[in-house]
Every structure is written in C-alpha cells, then in structure tokens.
Amino acid sequence: MPRKPVAKFVVDHLQILDEKGQVDAKLDPGLPAERLLEMYRWMRLARELDERMLKLQRQGRLGTFPPNTGHEAVSVPIAMAMGPKDWFVGAFRETGGRLVRGEPLTSPLHYYNGWEEGNILPDAALRITPVSVVIGCQIPQAAGLAFASRYNGEDAVTVAFIGDGGTSEGDFHEGLNFAAVWKAPVVYVVQNNQWAISIPRSAQTSSRTLAQKALGFDIPCLQVDGNDALAMWVAINEALDHARSGKGPYLIEAVTYRLMMHTTADDPKKYRDEAEEKCAWEKEPLIRFRAYLAARGLWDDERDAALTAEAREQVDAAVRAFETPHDRADDTAFDHVYGTDHPHLHEQRAEFLANVRFDGGKEADHG
C-alpha cells in the first residue's frame, strides 16, 4: 500500500500594520475613527499606569508586580471586541484589557500591594476572573467556564490568556484537549513575548510556532503580530465568531515582546542582550498605532499631549485613592472564595484570624 497523506496543516501569520505604521489597505478592518481613538486611549492609559506602577514600586510604595509595557495591543482590542456576557480569563499581562472590561485603575494597585480588594470587582457582572499567577491553571478553568456557559444556555464566549512559557505546562494541553472534545466556546490567546522569566523562546519549546500546538487537538489557530492592534482586532473577531457559532475553540498566538523585566524582582540585563531589547522597542505597539492615526489625519502632537495629561490625571486619582488610609478586614479573602457559604470556611476563617492575632502581636513586639 502506498503511503498517502491523511492530514495537512498550515499556520497563517497575520499583520496589517507594520512597524512603521504602514497599513495594508486590503486588510484594514476600516474601524470608525471613534473606535480607533478609543483603542489608542486605552492603550495609552494602560502604559501610563504601568509606568507609574514601576515608579511606585521603586519608591517602596507598591509591592512586586509584572510590568505589562509592550503588551497593550494584545488585550485592549480583544476586550473591546468581547460582548458583556463573555468571560475574560487573564493571566497577569492583560492590564489594558482588564481596564477596558471595566476593572478600576485601583485594582492592580491593590492587588500588587497584596490587598484582597484588588480581586474584588465593583460588579460581578463584569465577568473578569482574578489574576492567575499559577501558570496554566486558567486554561482548564476556561474550558470549564465555557462549557458551563453553553450548558446554561448563555450566549457567552470565554477568552483565556497564557504566556509562551505557559504552553509547556500540562494544564495547557489538558485544557485544550477538554475544550476541543467538548467543543467549548473558548478562545485561547498565547501572548508569546519571547521570554519566560530568563528562559528564551528558543529554549522553551522546539515548536516552530506556538499556534501549532492547537493543531494537535484539531483546534484552528492563527499567528498574529501582537504589536499590531488592527491585526489583533481582526483575529479576535474571527475567533469570537468561530466560538460563538458553535464550532468550538480557537487559538491565537500573539507575537510580541516583554519590553521590561519579568517582574520588578528581576533584572533582565543578567540574561539578555540590550541590542535585542532596542530592536524590540522599535516594533512596540503604540508608536505604530499613533503613526497610523496621524496618517489618517486623526492625530497630532497636540492631541497626544492632551491625552497624556488626561491619562496622568486618571492615574493620579487612582494612586491617591489607593494611598488614602482606610480600614480593611484581614479576613476579606474568605468572603469571596465560594459563591455559597460552607461550614469548612467558617472553621478556616476562625483559625486564620486566631493566627493573625498571634502574628500581629509578634509584629508589634518587633516595632
């Protein structure tokens, strides 16, 4: 019997706006001016918050956090394309998308200072899950959420994020398998920022693309320039339509770069070349989007200065609110673990509070 091919796979790459802000007119989604400006405004606000958080952390006014600079064009267009019933399941480099979705600017400040209120949304209907520091666990959770939405008859798609390093985790593969077998309405977004702390993409996996990991589960995939907000807009809309119409999961690999340190506890100078960083800064998402807006006659230096001032004021107000002393209960976390009450929770809360009182005494002794 002659051998014959039984399956063939192709992974496409999508870019619409190049590094210089030149658009491929045939692929331009033709978003109305106000939507384009809204997209830029969210990306600028996310960048402003990130830059301020770095200063606060360096001044000892904020705990350790993972900077998001350079990732704005991934999650902002995604969150703008999602519907109100859809679930936003983030990892920890999606601040822009979280803000678009309705999370207050104070949430990341609280969260990265170790305060539970950073996990509590003003409205549960916003459908944003908390930051997932545990790499990969959100992937099977997203498959479950998506399955549950369909089971409950809701028209909701779950969009879940993970990093390049996260695609080596067992949870990633198990989650994709469940999602595919169940045909769950979920879109997975791999933020391939080339680094997993100090492990480069080349040492992480021998897959030629990260998108192709979806093909093992027969999940359609697309590799996208993740610094190109227009390409991300087109890709997420295709992916949401696919999932919403009952065809099952979809995976997007967003190719970007972690422009800053992994977290503020890390120093990338110890393991990566400054020339590589310099080259990545030339491809960053905001400069090219601004050039595109300017070429369309929608933007100039004056408007940019006004937007920067506006974003700064918003961040200033959030920092003031964050730094205003207020009472907070030590055991707030127990209020939000489950949707319904449970006797074990009462026991655990009591034990925790007894320990807090004990440690509090010791702290006081140390002055």
Ligand X SMILES: Cc1ncc(C[n+]2csc(CCOP(=O)(O)OP(=O)(O)O)c2C)c(N)n1
Interacting stretch for Mg ion, rule CB under 5 A, among 101-109, 141-149, 158-166, 217-225?
158-166
Whole-Å CA distances, 80 to 41, 89, 117, 136, 151:
12, 14, 25, 24, 25
Annotated catalytic residue, options 44, 98, 262, 288: 262
Asked if 193 touches Mg ion (CB under 5 A), the answer is yes
Annotated catalytic residue, options 13, 58, 271, 357: 271
Asked if 50 touches ligand X (CB under 6 A), the answer is no
Asked if 283 touches ligand X (CB under 6 A), the answer is no
- Contact of residue 262 among Mg ion, ligand X, none (CB under 5-8 Å per partner type): ligand X
Strand 87-89 vs strand 221-225: parallel, antiparallel, or unpaired?
unpaired
Phi, psi angles (nearest 5°) of residue 23:
-100, 145
Instruction: Give whichever of 14 and 196 is closer to Mg ion, judged by the CB atom.
Output: 196
144/211 Cα distance (integer angstroms): 21
Among 39, 46, 135, 157, binds ligand X (CB under 6 A): 135
154/315 Cα distance (integer angstroms): 35
Interacting stretch for ligand X, rule CB under 6 A, among 16-24, 42-50, 190-198, 213-221?
190-198
- Contact of residue 93 among ligand X, Mg ion, none (CB under 5-8 Å per partner type): ligand X
Among 120, 197, 294, 345, binds ligand X (CB under 6 A): 197
Pair of tokens at residue 273: 């070349």
70/283 Cα distance (integer angstroms): 9
98/90 Cα distance (integer angstroms): 8
The Cβ of residue 197 has, within 10 Å, a number of other Cβ atoms equal to 14
Among 96, 140, 163, 249, binds ligand X (CB under 6 A): 163
Residues 77-96 that bind ligand X (CB under 6 A): 93
Instruction: Give whichever of 52 and 262 is closer to ligand X, judged by the CB atom.
Output: 262
Among 33, 124, 133, 356, binds ligand X (CB under 6 A): 133
Instruction: Give whichever of 199 and 345 is closer to ligand X, judged by the CB atom.
Output: 199
268/332 Cα distance (integer angstroms): 36
Specify whether 151 is catalytic: no
Specify whether 258 is catalytic: yes
- Contact of residue 135 among ligand X, Mg ion, none (CB under 5-8 Å per partner type): ligand X
CA-wise closest residue to 26 among 35, 17, 34, 36: 17
- Contact of residue 213 among Mg ion, ligand X, none (CB under 5-8 Å per partner type): none
Annotated catalytic residue, options 44, 52, 110, 258: 258
Pair of tokens at residue 268: 């990338």
Kindly determine how many residues on this chain lie close enough to bind ligand X according to the rule CB under 6 A: 16
Q: DSSP assignment of 119-168, as one string? A: G--S-GGG-BPPP--STTTHHHHHHHHHHHHHHTT----EEEEEETGGGG
CA-wise closest residue to 64 among 261, 199, 257, 196: 261
Asked if 134 touches ligand X (CB under 6 A), the answer is yes
Asked if 164 touches Mg ion (CB under 5 A), the answer is yes
Site string for ligand X, 253-272 (x = CB under 6 A): -----x---x----------
Tokens 């960083």 sit on residue: 277
364/367 Cα distance (integer angstroms): 5
Instruction: Give whichever of 165 and 249 is closer to ligand X, judged by the CB atom.
Output: 165
The distance of closest approach from Cβ of residue 171 to ligand X in the complex, given in angstroms and rounded to an integer, is 8
Active-site residue set: 258, 262, 271
Q: Which residues bind ligand X (CB under 6 A)?
A: 93, 133-136, 163-166, 191, 193, 195-197, 258, 262
